[in-house]
């Protein structure tokens, strides 16, 4: 089994004075494809239920674009983008409009 190291931008405008980054290790079976959204779900379900990111019933259908995040500096749809690197940096699309963690206002 291999692992992916995901470093996520964290910020809650109601409680944090400034943003910070938190790193998580996600186990992945060899030759298994995983999306950025899967990484975020794993973190939320198994490591840190305080991580906020956009998720809803229709997600994973590449339809709405609301799960957009920056991964290693490029804007992607979390539900569509496959993780190909062992280390990824996940940030909000627009840091100036962050509500909490990876969720931005319009």
- The domain that contains 76 carries what CATH number? 3.10.20.30
Residues 77 and 67 sit within 8 Å (Cβ to Cβ): yes
Tell me the chain's radius of gyration from C-alpha atoms: 13
Q: 9-57: per-residue pLDDT in tens?
A: 999 988 999 999 999 999 998 888 899 999 999 999 999 999 999 886 5
How many domains would you assign to the chain? 1
Main-chain dihedrals φ then ψ at residue 80, nearest 5 degrees? -105, -35
| Greater model confidence, 72 or 32 | 72
Q: Which helix (H) or strand (E) holds 37?
A: helix 36-42
Q: Where are the beta strands (DSSP E) in the chain?
A: 2-10, 20-28, 68-71, 74-77, 87-91, 98-100, 103-104
Q: Which domain holds residue 40?
A: 2-104
pTM tops 0.85, yes or no: yes
């Amino acid at each position: 089994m291999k692992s992916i190291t995901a470093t996520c931008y964290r910020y809650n405008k109601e409680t944090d004075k400034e943003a910070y980054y938190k790193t998580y290790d996600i186990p992945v079976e060899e030759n298994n494809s995983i999306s950025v959204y899967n990484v975020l779900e794993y973190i939320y379900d198994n490591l840190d239920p305080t991580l906020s990111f956009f998720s809803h019933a229709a997600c994973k259908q590449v339809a709405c674009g609301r799960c957009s995040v920056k991964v290693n500096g490029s804007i992607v749809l979390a539900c569509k983008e496959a993780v190909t690197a062992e280390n990824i940096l996940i940030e909000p699309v627009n840091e100036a409009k962050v509500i909490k963690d990876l969720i931005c206002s319009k």
